[in-house]
Chain A
C-alpha cells in the first residue's frame, strides 16, 4: 500500500503519467514559440490548436476559438470577472456567499471600484436558490457568477436552472467550474453559461495551467496586455507543455469519468457511513443528493480542524481544513458560516477529497485512525462532548 494516504484531491491532484508523457517532448525537443513562422514554431502552434479543439469538444463549446488558455483557475476567474466588468464600466454583479476566494475577492475588488454587489445567501446544504437569483436580478445586472460545485462542502449548484433564469437577461453568466471540469459531465450549452473557468491541476494536469471558455460574441476585455496572443485577449507566450498536458488530462479524465464517478461514490459512501457509525458527534456538511462524488466534509464536535489535520498527517493521511488556500488564516471558513455553522463548528471541520488512486483499503485505514485521533483530541479538551 502507498505509504501516504492522499485525501486532498480538491486541493490538487498528481499529474497523470499519460499527461506527463504527452508534455515531455514540448520542453526541450519541440520547444518553439507557437507565434513564430518557422516549422519548429508552427509545430507548437498546431499542437496548441489541437489542444484547444480537444478542450472545446470536451466541454461542448461550439468553436475551439471559444477556449482561451490561462495560467490557472484564479487567472481565468479574475479575467472573466474583470474582463466583463471593466468593459461595462458600471453595473450590478450577482454572486453567492460560498464562492471560492478567487471569485469573492475579485467581486469585492470590483465593488470597491464602484460596481454594485449582491451576495446571495445559500441554504443549509449550500444550494443557491435559482428563484433568489431571479429576485435579485436587476436591469443593470452585468454579471452573475456562481460556482458549479463548492470546493469545501462539495455541493453541486443548480447551474442549468440559473442559466434558464438568465435567458432573457443582458447579464453575462460566469461559472467557476474549477472543481467540476473532468469530475462532472460538462456541457456549456446545457449549463447555459457565457463564461466558464477551469484549472489543470485539479484534473490530474499540470499546475499553472487553466482555461477560460468565453462564448462567441460575449464582450470581454483582456486582463493581460502585451504581445497579443490568444486573439489579443490573453497576452503572454503560450505555456506549450502545460497546454498539451491540460488537454491530455481532460481527455483522460473524460474517458474515465463514468467509472471513476461510480468508484468515488462508493468509496465516499463507505467513508461517510464509517464515520457516522464510529464517531459520535460527527455531522456531515453539505448536501446528501447534490454532492461531488469525491467530497466528504465533516464537523467533529469538540475538536479542532487543524489539530485533526496534523494528527492525521503524523499518521500519513493528508486531509484539509476547508479551503486549501485558507489554511494560513485563523478565521473560520466563510462557506461554513454561510451554511449556518457556528465559529466553533466551522473550526472543528475537516474535508476529505477522494481521487483516482483512492482504494477501499485506504478508506478503511482512515476509519481506523480517525476515530482514535478524534478521541485523543476530545480527551485533551476542557469541554465534554
Chain B
C-alpha cells in the first residue's frame, strides 16, 4: 500500500521537534480524519534555516510532514510558497489515492506557517 519512501519517513521521521522561540509556528488539521500537523520554522535572511514538524495522523501524514521538513531546510521562503501537494506526493514516491489528504495537510501547514511568518513581518 505504501511506498518504501513513505515507510522510511514514517519509521524515522525527520526533524520531529519543537523549536522554542521559532520565527513562526502554525498548525493545520484535517477535520475529516482528525490528523493534525504543527510546523515550527526559523527564518534567517528569507531562508528556512531550521524546521520542526509534529504530526498526529496516519503514516502518510507523518511521512508528508517529514519529507516536507527536508525540502524546506535551506529553501528561501519565496520558493517555498510554490510547493504544491503534487511536489510532496512525488517526493514520497506517490501516495495511495485515498491518502492524498496527507499532502493537503502538509501543504496547508506550510502555507499557514508562511502566512504567519509574513504577517509577523508586517509593521
Contacts and interface: CB of A to CB of B under 8 A. Distances in A.
Contact of B54 (A307, A332, A347, A380): A380
Given A304-B35, A330-B32, A381 B54 contact: yes
B71 to A, nearest CB: 18
Interface string B19-41: 00000000100001111111000
A383 interface: yes
Given A303-B56, A310-B10, A310-B59, A379 B16 contact: yes
A380 B55 CA distance: 6
Interface residues of A, number: 22
A383 B55 contact: no
A343 interface: yes
Nearest to B36: A382
Interface in A319-346: 328-332, 343-344
Contacts of B27: 382
A314 interface: yes
Given A304-B35, A380-B62, A328 B98 contact: yes
Contacts of A311: 10-11
Nearest to B55: A380
A381 B56 contact: yes
A343 B33 CA distance: 8
A161 interface: no
Contact size class for B? 20 to 34
A306 interface: yes
Contacts of B36: 381-383
A347 B55 CA distance: 14
A306 B54 contact: no
A307 B62 contact: yes
B55 A382 contact: yes
Given A328-B98, A331-B32, A304 B2 contact: no
7 contacts: A307-B10, A310-B2, A314-B7, A328-B98, A380-B13, A380-B55, A380-B62
Interface of A: 302-304, 306-307, 310-311, 314, 328-332, 343-344, 347, 377, 379-383
Interface of B: 2, 7, 10-11, 13, 16, 27, 32-38, 54-59, 61-62, 98, 101
